[in-house]
Amino acid sequence: MARKDPYSLDEPEPIVHLVNFGESALELLFAVWCVKTDYLELSAKIMQKIKERFDAEGFEILFPHRTLCAGAAAEPFPVRVVSDGHDD
């Protein structure tokens, strides 16, 4: 993906390294080099391409789930998820 981007420099080559095993993530370092003036354009395009590729491949970006307990005497309380109309 980075090698095909017109803003990405050939040297040094793009790299991907596993940095850490997070709580619910594999933390990766993805480095792509470009001319300084092209950084914002490259960064935005690469992030969008990564998201589109993850979606196409069926990857889900997971997040930690938490359970909130208010004590033994407390009654369960309802939770309602409301969409703001954006598909972020």
| Cβ atoms of 16 and 8 closer than 8 Å | no
For the whole prediction, is pTM greater than 0.85?
no
For residue 24, what are its two tokens? 């619910």
| Encoded tokens for 32 | 């792509």
User: Tens digit of pLDDT per residue, the chain (88 long)?
Assistant: 888 899 999 999 999 999 999 877 889 999 999 999 999 999 999 999 999 999 999 988 777 777 777 666 667 777 888 887 766 5
Alpha helices (runs of H) in the chain, residue ranges in sequence order: 39-57
